[in-house]
Structure 1
Amino acid sequence: MTLAKTAAPNTVASAGQTVTYFYVVTNTGNVTLDNVSAADLSFSGSGTPPVITCPATSLAPQASTTCTGDYTVTQADIDAGSIVNTATASGTQPSGAVTESNASTATVTATADSALTLAKTAAPDTVTSAGQTVTYSHAVTNTGNVTLTSVHVTEMSFSGSGTPPVITCGVTTLAPQESTMCTGDYTVIQADIDAGS
């Protein structure tokens, strides 16, 4: 017997998508096989492996059946970059001996699309004297489809004459669509008042 395994779709981009695996089992021998089934030998997905069902469990010589199983993609799968699934099929001969197929592998590629947005504000946005504290708030959002680690904010330019703010973030790991607020305080000095901004 032979097994040919495929997956549809073979490319995914977000958690929650459904992948359907197709297991085409063919009796290439000369005796009828009963108890025909397909089983996953290895599965790299982090979620619940697919439950495989076969429309026919008895195959005459040269007959085929297509077994199927659905899998729900997880965020860990997207982060990993792929889902690899290897399966085999088996059937029982009239003599009671078990016939096994070749192993067949289907790989689903997870397309990574990383992106971040930043929205920055200052409070207060007007100061009148040296010694006042300005708090800069940076709203960071992961707008991509992969988990991001080591999230941080870096000042590209700062016109203040005093010590630039030290920015700290509430969390440094963001799953897709998650946000964190990063803040830093600055103490106004007289040169800032003189400069006007």
Structure 2
Amino acid sequence: MAAQRVLGSRRRVHLLVGFVALAIVALWGQSTMAQSWPFCIENCNAKDVVVERLYLDNVTYDGDVLSADVYVDFKVIAAERYCILVAIAFSSSSSCSNTQSVWRMFGDLPQGSYTGEYVGRVSVVGTQLWVCRQFAEWRNQVSTIGCPSGDCDLYRAGSKCWESTGGPYIIYEVGDPRLSLEKRTNGEDADTAPGPMVLVGSTVTWTYEVTNTGNVTLTNIVVTDDQEGSIGTISSLAPGASQTLTKTGTAVVGQYANIGTATTTYDEQTVTASDPSHYVGVEGYIAITPGSATNEVGDPHTFLITAYAQGAAPSGWSLSYQLTPTPESASLTGPTVAPDGMSATWNLTINHASPAVFTASATVTMTFSGGTQVVRTTDGISPNSTPATKTYEYRQAKIELTPGTDTNEVGEDHVITATVRVWN
């Protein structure tokens, strides 16, 4: 609960009654109001007793309960001595539900004016004080009849009674300046991390919805962001009204947090509201290894395809690949996801029984929380790798003996030449 505030100490709110209008003196924290309020139903000057004014003094508001001391001015016009009962019912709203009443019996009063007579202290839960009903009763011949007590209607016989009509009327309102701020990132109320997943380099849009949740008009409301700087100024905002300001930026990789703040002053009070917001910038890339290799015909070869996430761990991975030309056999296994969830690996194994050169390329889709997707391919744009190549080859060879035929004498040397010929 907020610390108690004393409003208008030793100053009073005067409610002029009879033939004069109700005037509300504007105290600290209070809106100025004026209302025509007939306090009695007949010509007050024609009565033996006239209640002229209602005062409020020592008004306090602790953030929940509004309290005030209630005083009245009245006159005893006739020469007789009078007993007077004054009662006033208050409420925190115009519906006059849950009324709180103050009353006092003033006994054996001679002719004359009575100023600043204390009636009682009223307390209501809320920021407004409404007068819902008021009545007074007086009776002369005090020495023989005595002062009555209770509701006016019960003592109408043998006495004079009046009761106000019209209303209810507001007589006091605490100036309760308040602001709320709702900050959104790409339309999401991302008060807590991580917030929405946003592609790195894309546009981020922040909105700052400022609402006047108090009961007084606020002016020159300055909206700022601890990361993005000045957002703008709202010149005036009536109670209950809202206005939205917008700021855009470029998403960066990783967790991002910023706090929006709306600030103004009212009657030397600083009024402020803040709201945080978050997003995660996500990115990724893909690589195939080895970049090139040569195999013997008929030997299997495996391409290692790895995708790397940046900013956050994806919730899903998928891969498609292309082999040009088509080998006699190809199989894909995986993914194997790293323990930190930030990378995934597939094995693409091929085989072919005749010489050929194959090119392998791949496209990976990383799906993040909320459905945001990063799609990367082996296009050679750093840090993505280029497609990988695999060469299959085998060697054909034969041995030639020369000369093919020849005749020698017994005991003579003969030379046979063996030539190995190899070609692709």
Q: State the TM-score, normalized to the length of structure 2.
A: 0.25
How far apart, in 1, do the equivalents of 2:223 and 2:249 lie?
Answer: 15
In the other structure, the counterpart of 1:178 is: 383
Which residue in 2 is equivalent to 1:11?
197
Offset, 1:26: 0.6
- 2:244 is the counterpart of 1:66: yes
Contact 2:205 2:246 in 1 (8 A): yes
Aligned match of 1:89 in 258, 262, 280? 262
**What is the distance in 1 between the residues matched to 2:384 and 2:280?**
27
Q: Within 1, Cα distance between the matches of 2:230 and 2:248?
A: 7
Kept in 1, the 8 Å contact 2:231–2:245? The answer is yes
Q: After superposition, what is the alpha-carbon deviation per residue over 1:16-47, rounded to whole angstroms, capped at 9, x for unaligned?
A: 21111011111111221111122224x4xxxx
Q: CA deviation at 1:89?
A: 0.9
Cα contact 2:216–2:238 (8 A) shared by 1: yes
Structure 2, unaligned runs of 5 or more: 1-178, 188-195, 295-304, 312-380, 387-424
Match of 1:38 in 2: 223
Residue identity in the other structure for 1:36:
I
* 2:291 is aligned with 1:105: no
Aligned-pair distance for 1:120?
A: 2.0
Structure 1 alignment gaps of length 5 or more: 44-48, 126-140, 148-175, 182-197
8 Å CA contact 2:251–2:281 kept in 1: the answer is no
Calculate the aligned-residue CA RMSD, in Å.
Answer: 3.4
Residues 70-118 of structure 1 deviation map (CA, whole Å, 9 limit, x = unaligned): 11113xxx2x2x211222211232x2433111x2111113345453233
* Residue pair 2:224, 2:232 contacting (<8 A) in 1 also: no
Residue matched to 1:146:
310
CA separation in 1, counterparts of 2:232 and 2:307?
A: 37
Could you tell me whether the CA contact under 8 Å between 2:286 and 2:384 is conserved in 1? no
Q: 1:142 to 1:69 in 2, by over 3 A?
A: farther
Question: Deviations along 1:106-145, whole A, 9 cap, x unmatched?
Answer: 11133454532335236xx7xxxxxxxxxxxxxxx99756
Q: Cα–Cα, structure 1 residues 19 and 4, in superposed 2: closer, same or farther, change >3 Å?
A: same
For 1:135, the equivalent position in structure 2 comes to: none
Whole-Å separation in 1 of the counterparts to 2:285 and 2:385: 16
- Counterpart residue identity of residue 146, structure 1: Q
Aligned to 1:53: 232
> What secondary structure is seen at the aligned counterpart in 1 of 2:261?
strand
Q: Secondary structure at the match of 1:58?
A: strand
Higher strand proportion (structure 1 or 2) = 2
Q: Aligned partner of 2:269: which letter?
A: A
Q: Figure out how many residues of one structure are paired with residues of the other and give that number.
A: 123
- Structure 2 counterpart of 1:106, one-letter code: S
Q: What residue number does 1:115 align with?
A: 286
1:115 counterpart SS class: strand
Identity %: 28
SS at match of 2:235: coil
TM superposition shift of 1:50: 5.9
SS at structure 2 position matched to 1:117: strand
Match of 2:207 in 1: 22
User: Normalising by the residue count of structure 1, what TM-score does the alignment of the two structures yield?
Assistant: 0.50
- Name the CA distance, whole Å, in 1 between partners of 2:384 and 2:184: 37
